Chain A
Amino acid sequence: MNNWQILPIISVLSLFAGALLTALLKKKKALRCIIPVAAAAVSFICMVLPVRRVMIDGEIVTVWLGNRSNAGKCSLTAAMEVDALSLFFGLILSGAILLSILCFNRYNANGGHVSHFLPVFFVLAGSVLCLTLTGNLFCMFLMLEIVSFSAAALIILRNRKSGGSEAALEYLVISRMGSAAALAGMIILYAQAGTLNFAGLSAMIPQNMNAFSKLAFAFLLVGFSIMTFNVPLYSYSEASDDSFPAHFPVLVLDIIGKSGLYVMIRLSFFVFQTMQLGSFQFLFAVAGCAVMLIFAIRALNQYDLVRRLMFHFISRVGSVVAAMGICTAPGVSTGFYQVMSHTLVVGLLFLALSEILRQTGTSDLNKLGGLSGKMPRTTFFFLIGTLSISGIPPLNGFASDWLMLQAVCTKAVESGNIAWFLPAFICLITSLLTLASLLKVFRTVFFGDLPEKFRNTPKISSERCFAMEIMTACCIISGLFPDTVGKYLTQPATTAVFNVSNYIDALNGSGAAGQMLGEISAPAIDFSTAGVYSPVLWLVLLTIAILGVALISEWLCSGKFSSLASAVGSHTESVVFSGNEENVGSMVAGTVFFQKMKPGLCRFSAVFNPDSGFIRNHAILAAAAFALAMLFMLIMI
């Protein structure tokens, strides 16, 4: 094993070490701030360092834990196998973990008592990262078990309201169902193949697909989806958000949700290789579209800022699922770009949300308003996040929508099926709904009358915006250079997805794939798109046009009191608007939006609001998901 090949192990271990050290040293205030950041930073750096070898050179890191090698085809030994796909998700997750630690530190330093969360959060983070880097299904299951218990513990630890214990219990019950199903699936697979390594499973299972293998797939897919909050099996999210520092569930959902996506991709593209089937592509596309639309509409009805943002985040995850369903190189690459873009935007909005909560202590849209004077930079960054998640050029949200539309159109032409345009339209509608919703939130939170109790809130200092500046810069840069991001990150991950034989050879020795699968040639992967888009040129042209319009306007009004320069320096004493309105809070508060559409939407309330809060109903939903999945696998594969 080369020195650089232990970097993934260090990345995972640093997080578990962070858990141990933060638990032991929580009484030392200085160390309490330094150790978490150091642990998360080491983890992130250890994910960045192998990028050149793994992403660009195409190497695969293989580490047999305990220094035991594969004994023939049968192996229960845990292995870490890091290809471009694993490293891509590892980078995203370790970056999200570092970001959350930075925010925890700030929250903690300002009197929020979250130090007891940190050890449990590190355990969750370490297990999520290990899950993406492992090459063994059993290890993945084990890590997901740790994730689920950590997540439940995080809810229980801060039980401000009785709803916290109930939410934790709800999640534990449902996740045990998922865990049992995943275990059953693993047992079936081991009985079939005699191994639980992904490489061995990839070589054996697709060649010998029978009813038991299909059942195993159903169990694993639904079981892991429940444990990682893949929609619609998300019993965790709504009930538990009152129990934390209110930005926390957004972050936990994002991290665990990304790991759920990774699991889904590994199972579908690698182990069972069912994504070549039209029925599976259809399933993913339809599920993704449904999630996009339903959650974007549900978000409109939310009065709480945290919940509204959470629903929008989940909605955008739907576009990732739909992109995976396209199952072409551009489609899968688009899905990965959306994963990265989604993490950046979630990070940015989550940071802005943290600042709002830190300043005001509430996330109720009816109680917020007029904050732009107190936090002008947060206002700007929130607007950038809003425009990015809504897909406005030249930000990364638009680049992901553009790639999505390209991939969808290409797929429709190649398959000859016009129905493939549906994800494109759903994506467009979702972008518009998200834009509408978040612009309304922007207006409600940052403008209007400042409530009396916030008038003494100090203006936010510049240091606390540093993380938001970094995230904004990442959103803009990734939006301006999607080709570069594609070349070094998403396209290598996509190549890894379509090149299973490389993965098998890395673990079982060169030529093993040929022996197990017969003569296979590397698939031709074409990332070219039919459209044209130069974001840098667009931005340059826009900048010149803005300067031109501003200068010509100034010239037209030069020397008069109507000029822009005089407006910039002007000050008016009037607080009355031109229509004599008073400067009050938002008349259409966060409680009311799209009033005219609500009666129509109410007819679909059962679909749009399935969460009744009862464990029994969630269990029924999970059981129904199992049944449908089994039927689908048995009939369609």
Chain B
Amino acid sequence: MKLFADALFNLGYILVFPGLLYCFICGLLLSGIERKISAGWKRKAGPIIQPFYDFFSLCGKETIVPFAANKTGFLLSPIIGYASLIVLQLFIPLSSFTAFRGSADIIVVLYMLLVPEICEITGSIFSGSPHAEKWFPQKINRMISCEISLALVLLSAARCVGRSMGSGVVFSLSEIAEYQAKNGSLIGRFCMVFAAIAMILTIPGIIGSRPFHDDEAIFSEYDGILLAIYKLCRAGKLFTMTSLFCSLFLAGSGTGIVLIDAVVFLIISVLLTGCIALLEAVLCRIRSEKLIITYWLAVFVIAGIGFVLAWVGA
């Protein structure tokens, strides 16, 4: 009976909170807020819940499989991409609550962030469209630039907490969150300020917004529910990255009550989304090779400074 109850609880975690339904609502909501803020700069109008409208309108459109496409891969790629984001969300702590504690650490999270990107690439490959392939090198360049900086940010947090706890490096996100719940948020540490700035600058790269080129052309052959799932992926990446930011730097701001913490984290995510939307509105699109150099010279250096300071205990 207990096993059955546990299984139901776990299924609830995956499908409802903090899994599928929670990701769906929060992801689209943050996407709408991002669009609203960046559109506000251009004096454009539109409701915050426009992404919800777009999603359900796409659900009503026909799903066409191109003649040259590999049908299985074409259909599965967006589904696997979004499913991997849901699983990733299950490992990110909400203050002191983690749905599946002790199952994944920061290295797993770092590599799991690649899976939705790979699914987008494979989706475009399986569609067979030569047009989608033009964006492939840019996408890869973006991934390489951002993942290294993100790795430094994650290791900074791991080292900062590990040093304080006397164990060297703490890889578990749950332990990092619990440490903050007892000792205050990491954002108050000098070294983590650099890491936080680097992470905010990395998020546009992970989700594919400005100043990076919009690579939605990679979905040129997708329509209907599959395109809706890909758009959900993008929204989900935004939500996941903001959640990750909260758990790495602001997990000490929780109350201990899961639902209230979820709301608090959502509010913080909205503020972060505002920052990202501001970046998107203010910055123009920069050429790919210049952007990579910028990221390696600027963002990587900021993240590196944060890592070195965390290493020495500043």
- Chain A residues within an 8 Å CB radius of B193: none
Q: Is the CB of B171 within 8 A of A531?
A: yes
Q: A553-B229, A562-B59 in contact; A575/B111 too (CB < 8 A)?
A: no
Which residue on chain B has the smallest CB distance to residue A530? Answer: B171
Least CB distance from A297 to B in Å reads 12
Q: Is B47 engaged at the interface, CB distance under 8 Å to the other chain?
A: no
Cβ < 8 Å to A, chain B residues 32-72 = 56, 59-68, 70-71
Which residue on chain A has the smallest CB distance to residue B15? Answer: A548
Q: Is the CB of B129 within 8 A of A402?
A: no
Cβ < 8 Å to A, chain B residues 122-176 = 122, 125-126, 128-131, 133-134, 136-137, 140-141, 143-144, 147-148, 151, 155, 158, 162, 167-172
**The residue from A549, A572, A574, A587 contacting B86, defined by CB atoms under 8 A apart:** A549
Q: Is the CB of A561 within 8 A of B100?
A: no
Q: A413-B162, A545-B19 in contact; A401/B155 too (CB < 8 A)?
A: no
Q: What total of chain B residues lie within 8 Å of the partner, measured CB to CB?
A: 81
Q: When chains A and B are docked, how far (Å) is the Cα of A421 from the Cα of B310?
A: 13
Q: Is A142 engaged at the interface, CB distance under 8 Å to the other chain?
A: no
Q: Is A240 engaged at the interface, CB distance under 8 Å to the other chain?
A: no
- Chain B residues within an 8 Å CB radius of A560: 60
Q: Is A516 engaged at the interface, CB distance under 8 Å to the other chain?
A: no
Binding site for A on B (CB under 8 A): 11, 14-15, 19-20, 56, 59-68, 70-71, 75-76, 79-80, 82-84, 86-87, 90, 100, 102-108, 110-112, 114-115, 118, 121-122, 125-126, 128-131, 133-134, 136-137, 140-141, 143-144, 147-148, 151, 155, 158, 162, 167-172, 220-221, 223-226, 229, 288-289, 308, 311
- Chain A residues within an 8 Å CB radius of B225: 553, 556-557, 562-564
Question: How does the 8 Å CB contact mask read for A331-374 relative to B, with 1 for contact and 0 for none?
Answer: 00000000000000000000000000000000000000000100
- Chain A residues within an 8 Å CB radius of B60: 557, 560, 562
Q: When chains A and B are docked, how far (Å) is the Cα of A393 from the Cα of B109?
A: 10
Q: Is the CB of B70 within 8 A of A379?
A: yes
9 closest Cβ pairs, A-B complex: A413-B168, A545-B83, A531-B171, A567-B63, A436-B140, A531-B105, A596-B289, A534-B103, A546-B83
Least CB distance from A411 to B in Å reads 10
Interface size band for A: 35 or more
Binding site for B on A (CB under 8 A): 372, 376, 379, 383, 387, 391-393, 398, 401-402, 405-406, 409-410, 412-414, 418, 421, 424-425, 428-429, 432-433, 435-436, 439-440, 442-443, 447-448, 530-534, 537-538, 541-542, 544-546, 548-550, 552-553, 556-557, 560-564, 566-568, 570, 572-575, 577-579, 581-584, 586-588, 593-597
Q: Is the CB of B14 within 8 A of A581?
A: no
Which residue on chain B has the smallest CB distance to residue A585? Answer: B130
Q: When chains A and B are docked, how far (Å) is the Cα of A313 from the Cα of B129?
A: 30
Q: When chains A and B are docked, how far (Å) is the Cα of A409 from the Cα of B172?
A: 13
- Chain B residues within an 8 Å CB radius of A398: 111
Q: Is the CB of B130 within 8 A of A541?
A: no
Q: Is the CB of A572 within 8 A of B64?
A: yes
Q: Is the CB of A570 within 8 A of B65?
A: yes
Q: When chains A and B are docked, how far (Å) is the Cα of A413 from the Cα of B14?
A: 36
CB pairs A–B below 8 angstroms (14 shown):
A391-B111, A424-B151, A428-B147, A439-B118, A439-B122, A542-B87, A546-B76, A549-B86, A553-B59, A557-B63, A562-B62, A577-B221, A578-B221, A586-B133
Q: When chains A and B are docked, how far (Å) is the Cα of A441 from the Cα of B134?
A: 14
Q: Is the CB of B143 within 8 A of A418?
A: no
**The residue from B134, B169, B221 contacting A410, defined by CB atoms under 8 A apart:** B169
- Chain A residues within an 8 Å CB radius of B11: 544
Q: Is the CB of B131 within 8 A of A577?
A: yes
- Chain A residues within an 8 Å CB radius of B141: 594, 596-597
Which residue on chain A has the smallest CB distance to residue B308? Answer: A418
Q: Is the CB of A563 within 8 A of B83?
A: no
Q: When chains A and B are docked, how far (Å) is the Cα of A59 from the Cα of B67?
A: 61
Least CB distance from B234 to A in Å reads 15
- Chain B residues within an 8 Å CB radius of A581: 129-131
- Chain A residues within an 8 Å CB radius of B125: 439, 442-443, 447
Which residue on chain B has the smallest CB distance to residue A594? Answer: B137
Q: A574-B67, A586-B130, A597-B289 in contact; A538/B108 too (CB < 8 A)?
A: yes
Q: A531-B171, A541-B90, A544-B14 in contact; A587/B118 too (CB < 8 A)?
A: no
Q: When chains A and B are docked, how far (Å) is the Cα of A489 from the Cα of B45?
A: 63
Q: A531-B172, A542-B87, A587-B133 in contact; A561/B71 too (CB < 8 A)?
A: no
Which residue on chain A has the smallest CB distance to residue B140? Answer: A436
Q: When chains A and B are docked, how far (Å) is the Cα of A46 from the Cα of B225?
A: 55
**The residue from B86, B118, B143, B167 contacting A392, defined by CB atoms under 8 A apart:** B118
- Chain B residues within an 8 Å CB radius of A566: 63
Q: Is the CB of A413 within 8 A of B83?
A: no
Least CB distance from A115 to B in Å reads 37
- Chain A residues within an 8 Å CB radius of B19: 545, 548
Q: When chains A and B are docked, how far (Å) is the Cα of A233 from the Cα of B169?
A: 37
Instruction: Give me 12 other A-B pairs in contact (C-beta within 8 A), A545-B83, A583-B130 excluded.
Output: A392-B114, A406-B107, A418-B308, A432-B114, A433-B144, A537-B103, A548-B19, A548-B86, A556-B59, A561-B62, A575-B67, A577-B221
Least CB distance from B189 to A in Å reads 18
- Chain B residues within an 8 Å CB radius of A402: 107-108, 111
Which residue on chain A has the smallest CB distance to residue B139? Answer: A436
- Chain B residues within an 8 Å CB radius of A596: 137, 141, 288-289
Least CB distance from A419 to B in Å reads 11
Q: Is the CB of B66 within 8 A of A577?
A: yes
Q: A418-B308, A583-B128 in contact; A428/B103 too (CB < 8 A)?
A: no
Least CB distance from B262 to A in Å reads 19
Q: When chains A and B are docked, how far (Å) is the Cα of A582 from the Cα of B131?
A: 10
**The residue from A542, A586, A588 contacting B137, defined by CB atoms under 8 A apart:** A588
Least CB distance from A477 to B in Å reads 19
Which residue on chain A has the smallest CB distance to residue B87? Answer: A541
Least CB distance from B126 to A in Å reads 8
Q: Is the CB of B68 within 8 A of A548?
A: no
Q: When chains A and B are docked, how far (Å) is the Cα of A401 from the Cα of B60?
A: 42
- Chain A residues within an 8 Å CB radius of B167: 530
Q: A393-B115, A435-B118, A548-B14 in contact; A429/B144 too (CB < 8 A)?
A: yes
Q: When chains A and B are docked, how far (Å) is the Cα of A595 from the Cα of B147?
A: 21
Which residue on chain A has the smallest CB distance to residue B85? Answer: A545
Which residue on chain A has the smallest CB distance to residue B106? Answer: A531
- Chain B residues within an 8 Å CB radius of A401: 107, 111
- Chain B residues within an 8 Å CB radius of A577: 66, 68, 128-131, 220-221
Residue with the highest number of chain A CB atoms closer than 10 Å, among B70, B87, B100, B102: B87
**The residue from A428, A443, A575 contacting B151, defined by CB atoms under 8 A apart:** A428
- Chain B residues within an 8 Å CB radius of A442: 125
**The residue from B83, B107, B126 contacting A405, defined by CB atoms under 8 A apart:** B107
